[in-house]
Amino acid sequence: MGVDLEAVYRDLHANPELSFQEHRTAGIVAGHLRSLGYEVTEGIGTTGVLGLLRNGDGPTVLLRADMDALPVEEATGLPYASTRRGTDHEGNDVPVMHACGHDVHVACLLGAAERLVDDRGTWAGTLALVFQPGEEWGGGAGVMVRDGLLERMPRPDVVLGQHVGPLPAGFAAVHPGVAFASDDSITVTLHGAGGHGSRPETTVDPVVMAASTILRLQTIVAREVAATDGAVVSVGQVHAGTKNNIIPSEARLGLSVRTFDEAVRQRVLASIERIVRAEAEASGAREAPEVRYDGHYPRTVNDEAATERTAAALRRALGDDRVFDPGVASGSEDVGMLAEASGAPLCYWLLGGADPALFADFLQTRRLPDTPSNHSPKFAPLIEPTLSTGVTTLVAAAREWLGTAA
């Protein structure tokens, strides 16, 4: 009996799990893979799952899907919307939502797993299906590698995967070379001197310090990065204070930095540290600020030859007009860690998940309408044709790299 992908997807969407807490999702994945005849190893890198299907001599193809969700409160209004809550890595109670489409990734790879099993009389080689934890926080690809993922499978000849986004469902997009930006996650702690809100002259106000710092940080991209380069500096978190009439003793900022070039990255990071120190000194801070680097994802670099070969297979599967080059994306991914660690070429593409009716002029203009995108509380991929297209693209890409049965 085949996997009911829509039912699996709805279930995953309604029951999201935070990074490295994907126990239920991993159990569903492992159960489906075993029922299809895959060799299954669970618990790699905490909750990661590896499914192997050995089908004679031939290349090894690694297909990857990430499983984790985000601390976002869903506002889609869907009948299968998440109402789940969880505890994040800092111990906070948070809402949980599949706001980045990893539920789509899991469902599509399970569908591809079944189709490739059914079709194994026509191909030869080994399929390595990697269901990865912690893409949103903690670099789960690297965690799986460090926990021996690559020692449990043949060396892959290629690493393949896809990410759903606000492109029209039924389309795929792939860019050779640098495809996604690097990401640096940074926590800045600004130290002030707290006191009564009625007597600010007796304090060093970290809230004002934080406000000045946030505004000054925006000048890095506007005034220090050349127009021919690219960078993003976003402040996604601001935490300070407990009560309206109390000036707190510290403020904390959470930054996300995206760059496409290592030299630009180093300049941007140095500028952040310079501005943070200077604003603290200008505010009269009695203690130096702290800049903590919480994590780094390298750029996602698609091997040019592998991408050309894979894109041709996608065009054959979907049609020439439904596969295009989107240019470089400012989002970040850790899938490249699997390719780097194994020495295999990478091809990672975008999968359309938005209602095609919203894209009346897309084929001519390539302009995206104003629709909710990844990480939005209203991000809601269209179930079909997103899932069927995602299965088709994974199967087509895998078949391009697998051998032909004798």
What does the DSSP assignment read for 310-322?
HHHHHHHHH-GGG
Is 191 annotated among the ligand-binding residues? Answer: no
Based on the fold, state whether residues 189 and 174 are members of the same structural domain: no
- Would you call the peptide bond into 385 cis, given omega within 30 degrees of 0 as the criterion? yes
Residue given tokens 């449990």 in the structure block:
152
Based on the fold, state whether residues 22 and 168 are members of the same structural domain: yes
Q: Is 164 helix (H, G, I), strand (E, B) or coil?
A: strand
Instruction: Compute CA distances 406 → 49, 128, 158, 167, 290, whole Å.
Output: 30, 21, 22, 39, 62
Based on the fold, state whether residues 124 and 23 are members of the same structural domain: yes
Based on the fold, state whether residues 176 and 28 are members of the same structural domain: yes
Based on the fold, state whether residues 263 and 202 are members of the same structural domain: yes
CATH number of the domain that residue 13 is part of: 3.40.630.10
Based on the fold, state whether residues 67 and 32 are members of the same structural domain: yes
Based on the fold, state whether residues 195 and 264 are members of the same structural domain: yes
Q: Total domain count for the chain? A: 2
Q: How many residues does the chain have?
A: 406
In the sheet with 182-191, reading across from the earlier edge strand, the strands are 231-240, 250-259, 182-191, 290-297
Residue given tokens 């470089």 in the structure block:
328
The reply to whether the predicted model has a pTM over 0.95 is no
Is 175 annotated among the ligand-binding residues? Answer: no
Contact 89, 19 (CB under 8 A): yes
Based on the fold, state whether residues 291 and 309 are members of the same structural domain: no
Is 196 annotated among the ligand-binding residues? Answer: no
CATH number of the domain that residue 245 is part of: 3.30.70.360
Residue finishing a domain among 260, 280, 296: 296
Q: Which residue, among 314, 302, 334, has the nearest Cα to 130 in the 3D structure?
A: 334
Beta strand 60-66 pairing with 123-132 = parallel
Q: What is the pLDDT along the chain (406 residues), one digit of tens a residue?
A: 477 999 999 999 999 999 999 999 999 999 999 999 999 999 999 999 999 999 999 999 999 999 999 999 999 999 999 999 999 998 999 999 999 999 999 999 999 999 999 999 999 999 999 999 999 998 999 999 999 999 999 999 999 999 999 999 999 999 999 999 999 999 999 999 999 999 999 999 999 999 999 999 999 999 999 999 999 999 999 999 999 999 999 999 999 999 999 999 999 999 999 999 999 999 999 999 999 999 999 999 999 999 999 999 999 999 999 999 999 999 999 999 999 999 999 999 999 999 988 887 776 676 767 789 999 999 999 999 999 999 999 999 999 999 998 7
Q: Which residue, among 110, 107, 113, has the nearest Cα to 164 in the 3D structure?
A: 107
Based on the fold, state whether residues 261 and 280 are members of the same structural domain: yes
Based on the fold, state whether residues 158 and 190 are members of the same structural domain: no
Based on the fold, state whether residues 228 and 186 are members of the same structural domain: yes
Find the domain containing 256 and state its range: 182-296
Which two three-digit tokens encode residue 366?
């390539």
Residue finishing a domain among 296, 319, 344: 296
Residue finishing a domain among 274, 296, 318: 296
Is 347 annotated among the ligand-binding residues? Answer: no
Give the whole-angstrom CA distance, residue 237 versus residue 31.
Answer: 38
Indicate left, alpha or beta for 167 from its phi (over 0: left) and psi (-120 to 50: alpha).
Answer: beta
Q: Which residue, among 248, 162, 259, 146, has the nearest Cα to 204 in the 3D structure?
A: 248
Burial 3-40 (b: 16+ CB within 10 A, else e): bebeebbbbbbbbbbbbbbbeebbebbbebbeebebeb
